[in-house]
Chains A and B, each alone.
Chain A
Amino acid sequence: MLEIKNLHAKVDGREILNGLDLTLPAGEVHAIMGPNGSGKSTLSYVLAGNEDYEVTEGSITWNGEDLLDMEPDERAAAGVFLAFQYPMEIPGVATMTFLRSAVNAVRKARGEEEFSTPDFLRTVKEKAKQLQIDIEMLRRPLNVGFSGGEKKRNEILQMSLLEPGLCILDETDSGLDIDALRIVSDGVNALRSPERSMLVITHYQRLLNYIVPDRVHVLSQGRVARSGGPELALELEKSGYAEYGQDEASAA
């Protein structure tokens, strides 16, 4: 269970999160919606531990542990996973090598055995197939020259390999065409389980047709302005974010 209480966070001296409260029980999928600049991505970076974001007040606990006290790699070991909106490119490092390093680092930190080469290859191939990822893509340097769809599928592949307890998807739908959106959503849905919590950050209701959330929260000016069931997303689709300030035009 993830519990966020009265969270305040700054970036470049500007307060973005302003008293955010959120409870995400195990096994549930919550959507975070809201206009641009409402703090959606900031929330995801703060959860993953990016140093550029300074928490000035409030608390985040994950399964009873103080998340703010942990380094990003420790959070990963504790089961926190962020699927990036803009995954980073690392030239010269084969995607397969990166995946293996990450998986083994996390397994080691969790006190599990590292994968042997054959076991790892088998696991990757299996999971890649579900996401319709060509093995050839995994031989290419990480995210270098990947299409938008390839990058996002690669994020979900990492998510499925690292077996996190808390999945944060930061605008995973951005830049995806309808087919890629379906593949990625299927991948995410396959990972839903009673032990796993998910925070799906999105601007558009469209994604939530595929990944149906248990709850929807609307962020405005750094805090949760409204919460409701999946129907809230549909309502936003019609009315837009006008009443939540700032970005009037983008609820199309």
Chain B
Amino acid sequence: MPAVEETVERVKEIDVDKYKYGFSTDIESVKAPKGLNEDIVRFISAKKEEPEWMLEWRLEAYKRWRTMTEPTWAKVHYPKIDFEDLYYYAAPKSTEGPKSLDEVDPELLRTYEKLGIPLKEQEVLAGVQGAPKVAVDAVFDSVSVVTTFRDELAKAGVIFCSISEAVKDHPDLVKKYLGSVVPVTDNFYATLNSAVFSDGSFVYVPEGVRCPMELSTYFRINAENTGQFERTLIIADKGSYVSYLEGCTAPMRDENQLHAAVVELVALEDAEIKYSTVQNWYPGDAEGKGGVYNFVTKRGDCRGDRSKISWTQVETGSAITWKYPSCILRGHGSRGEFYSIAISNGYQQVDSGTKMIHLGRDTSSRIISKGIAAGFSDNTYRGLVSAHRRATNARNFTCCDSLLIGNRCGAHTVPYIEAKNASATFEHEATTSKISDDQLFYCLSRGLSEEEAVALIVNGFVRDVLQQLPMEFMAETQKLIGISLEGSVG
């Protein structure tokens, strides 16, 4: 790729001074030059004061990434990304954000208002200059709550910190598990993430411990933005249990258009991990411009016998979503679950689903996917259920329901089913329906506005999945569903 190399060279030349300067300056004021090369990877690692092994790991990934090509099999369309025109390390946008809320997209502000978010927090979410540089959620919760929370976790022996801290403080655990579920070479975006990941969460729950509370990124004390290449690693040791919540119902504005996160879950014998996500990145303006591209690799490994991993996701944001939280059912008697609500409106494109890979005996999995397409959007469920030769008595139940609102959107279901063991039992159910005019009229004649009626009907449609969400997310999510579908009828 001579063109790429040329760009790399040029970038090096132009920015070499600035780049050196970067090493000794405060994080707030630096930004690595555009484009990606080994030096940028070294720079990121140095910024994070990482040990040598971590740097080596990143460089390995980088080299591999250079040999890979972007996948094109998903049913999403977008202009080709110029990976040399991106920043791979940028300090929190102190100079890029809007100067005040007056400069923020009024639509976004209207949404904040509907969700009842106070002004100060709106500034943080919208990335206004000078707003506090803390994780959004730390703003909501007082410091004392966070401290109490940390104490309680420490008492239980649960490690919950940023992945950067874990690299320094718990190298053995990180070395053992990082990349063990999503290998460095897994796919284009995951490999890119491995080379340049910014930050994310690390959780270790020791043997036999039931984590005393729902772990949430809400509570993570992290003065830095996690950035566009988030990396999360959760390990549940033998017989332990943990429930982790990721995301935020408030729409997050981000200057970074490309997001490529990696989440790895490891459940050892008899352990259980429940991972819930509410994703509401900026979907773009009315024409679909400027929205986030969300290319995520999420995978859980039921490594131990009788272990269980359950994914619940609510996807409402992003211009493009490419995401397949999966389970490798390696342990005998292990169980994987995937509950998903994916809503697309405007010009959003969603290609999401799951993979249930049955390797062990008596493994079972369950997939409940609810896709709602409105406006001009495209909503695809793509899933794989496979039983390995040795996966005796593997069982799967899949239910994919799509709901269409209006007649300019699309819903697609692409299920792949492979059974290499004759004893496997796989069930697949799928429906596609539309909100009928009669249903709408019935609601309107009872005084509900068209938007309220749609929100109500859709909330009914996704009820089975909503019930899987932790209580604190449920009410917010119901509200969010209504907001996501505004303007979808009439």
Which residues of the other chain, B, contact A82 by a CB distance below 8 angstroms? 445
Closest-by-CB residue of B relative to A144 is: B460
Whether B480 is near chain A, meaning CB under 8 Å from some CB there, is: no
Are A87 and B442 in touch, CB under 8 angstroms? yes
Which residues of the other chain, A, contact B462 by a CB distance below 8 angstroms? 92
For B456, give its contact among A76, A84, A93, A106 (CB under 8 Å): A93
A-B contact pairs, 25 of them (CB 8 A): A48-B445, A49-B444, A49-B445, A50-B441, A51-B437, A51-B441, A71-B444, A72-B444, A73-B444, A75-B445, A76-B446, A76-B447, A87-B442, A88-B438, A88-B439, A90-B442, A92-B463, A93-B459, A102-B446, A105-B449, A106-B446, A106-B447, A141-B460, A162-B446, A162-B447
Which residues of the other chain, B, contact A87 by a CB distance below 8 angstroms? 442
Are B459 and A92 in touch, CB under 8 angstroms? yes
> A50-76, CB under 8 A of B: which get 1 and which 0?
111000000000000000000111011
Known: A71-B444, A93-B456, A105-B449. 4 other contacts (CB 8 A): A76-B444, A92-B459, A92-B462, A101-B452
Whether B457 is near chain A, meaning CB under 8 Å from some CB there, is: yes
Whether B448 is near chain A, meaning CB under 8 Å from some CB there, is: yes
Which residues of the other chain, A, contact B449 by a CB distance below 8 angstroms? 73, 105
Q: Given A52-B437, A84-B442, A92-B463 in contact, is the A101-B457 Cβ separation under 8 Å?
A: no
Are A101 and B444 in touch, CB under 8 angstroms? no
CB distance from B280 to the nearest CB of A (A): 22
Whether A211 is near chain B, meaning CB under 8 Å from some CB there, is: no
Which residues of the other chain, A, contact B442 by a CB distance below 8 angstroms? 84, 87-88, 90
Q: How far is the CA of A63 from the CA of B437 in the complex (A)?
A: 28
For A105, give its contact among B438, B441, B452, B464 (CB under 8 Å): B452
Which residues of the other chain, A, contact B461 by a CB distance below 8 angstroms? 91-92
Whether A7 is near chain B, meaning CB under 8 Å from some CB there, is: no
Q: How far is the CA of A182 from the CA of B443 in the complex (A)?
A: 27
Q: How far is the CA of A82 from the CA of B456 in the complex (A)?
A: 20
Q: Which of B446, B450, B456, B461 has the most CB of A within 10 A?
A: B446
Are B460 and A105 in touch, CB under 8 angstroms? no
Whether A109 is near chain B, meaning CB under 8 Å from some CB there, is: yes
Are A105 and B445 in touch, CB under 8 angstroms? no
Closest-by-CB residue of B relative to A75 is: B445
Whether A158 is near chain B, meaning CB under 8 Å from some CB there, is: yes
Whether A210 is near chain B, meaning CB under 8 Å from some CB there, is: no
CB distance from A20 to the nearest CB of B (A): 20
Q: How far is the CA of A7 from the CA of B441 in the complex (A)?
A: 21
Q: Given A92-B462, A93-B456, A141-B460 in contact, is the A105-B447 Cβ separation under 8 Å?
A: yes
Q: How far is the CA of A78 from the CA of B25 in the complex (A)?
A: 66
CB distance from B182 to the nearest CB of A (A): 34
Are B441 and A72 in touch, CB under 8 angstroms? yes
CB distance from B456 to the nearest CB of A (A): 6
A-facing residues in B399-452 (Cβ within 8 Å): 436-439, 441-450, 452
Whether A115 is near chain B, meaning CB under 8 Å from some CB there, is: no
Whether A120 is near chain B, meaning CB under 8 Å from some CB there, is: no
Closest-by-CB residue of A relative to B449 is: A73
Count class of interface residues, chain B: 20 to 34
CB distance from A67 to the nearest CB of B (A): 13
CB distance from A82 to the nearest CB of B (A): 6
Whether A244 is near chain B, meaning CB under 8 Å from some CB there, is: no
Q: How far is the CA of A84 from the CA of B442 in the complex (A)?
A: 8
Are A93 and B460 in touch, CB under 8 angstroms? yes
8 shortest A-B CB distances, which residue pairs? Answer: A92-B460, A93-B460, A76-B447, A106-B447, A72-B444, A102-B446, A92-B463, A88-B442
Closest-by-CB residue of A relative to B460 is: A92
Q: How far is the CA of A108 from the CA of B462 in the complex (A)?
A: 27
Closest-by-CB residue of A relative to B433 is: A91
Q: Given A72-B441, A88-B438 in contact, is the A109-B447 Cβ separation under 8 Å?
A: yes
> A161-175, CB under 8 A of B: which get 1 and which 0?
010000000000000
Q: How far is the CA of A106 from the CA of B437 in the complex (A)?
A: 21
> B256-287, CB under 8 A of A: which get 1 and which 0?
00000000000000000000000000000000
Are A101 and B445 in touch, CB under 8 angstroms? no
CB distance from A162 to the nearest CB of B (A): 7
B-facing residues in A9-40 (Cβ within 8 Å): none
Are B459 and A73 in touch, CB under 8 angstroms? no
Q: How far is the CA of A93 from the CA of B450 in the complex (A)?
A: 16
Are A101 and B441 in touch, CB under 8 angstroms? no
Q: How far is the CA of A37 from the CA of B277 in the complex (A)?
A: 54
Whether A77 is near chain B, meaning CB under 8 Å from some CB there, is: yes
Q: Given A88-B438, A88-B439, A92-B463 in contact, is the A98-B456 Cβ separation under 8 Å?
A: yes
Q: How far is the CA of A120 from the CA of B447 in the complex (A)?
A: 17
Q: How far is the CA of A93 from the CA of B458 in the complex (A)?
A: 9
Are B448 and A101 in touch, CB under 8 angstroms? yes
Which residues of the other chain, B, contact A89 by a CB distance below 8 angstroms? 439
Closest-by-CB residue of B relative to A93 is: B460
Which residues of the other chain, A, contact B459 by a CB distance below 8 angstroms? 92-93
CB distance from A125 to the nearest CB of B (A): 20
Q: How far is the CA of A92 from the CA of B372 in the complex (A)?
A: 15
CB distance from B488 to the nearest CB of A (A): 17
CB distance from A109 to the nearest CB of B (A): 6
Q: How far is the CA of A109 from the CA of B445 in the complex (A)?
A: 13
Are A72 and B452 in touch, CB under 8 angstroms? no
Are A77 and B447 in touch, CB under 8 angstroms? yes
For B447, give its contact among A52, A102, A142 (CB under 8 Å): A102
For A158, give its contact among B446, B450, B452, B460 (CB under 8 Å): B446
Q: How far is the CA of A55 from the CA of B473 in the complex (A)?
A: 46
Closest-by-CB residue of B relative to A104 is: B447
CB distance from B176 to the nearest CB of A (A): 44
Which residues of the other chain, B, contact A84 by a CB distance below 8 angstroms? 442
Which residues of the other chain, A, contact B439 by a CB distance below 8 angstroms? 88-90
Closest-by-CB residue of B relative to A107 is: B447
Q: How far is the CA of A141 from the CA of B459 in the complex (A)?
A: 12
Which residues of the other chain, B, contact A101 by a CB distance below 8 angstroms? 448, 452, 456
Q: Which of A48, A52, A98 has the most CB of B within 10 A?
A: A98
Closest-by-CB residue of A relative to B442 is: A88
Are B444 and A93 in touch, CB under 8 angstroms? no
Q: How far is the CA of A148 from the CA of B461 in the complex (A)?
A: 23
Which residues of the other chain, B, contact A49 by a CB distance below 8 angstroms? 444-445
Q: How far is the CA of A166 from the CA of B431 in the complex (A)?
A: 39
Q: How far is the CA of A77 from the CA of B436 in the complex (A)?
A: 23
Q: How far is the CA of A109 from the CA of B452 in the complex (A)?
A: 13
Closest-by-CB residue of B relative to A142 is: B460
CB distance from B483 to the nearest CB of A (A): 16
Which residues of the other chain, A, contact B445 by a CB distance below 8 angstroms? 48-49, 72-73, 75-76, 81-82
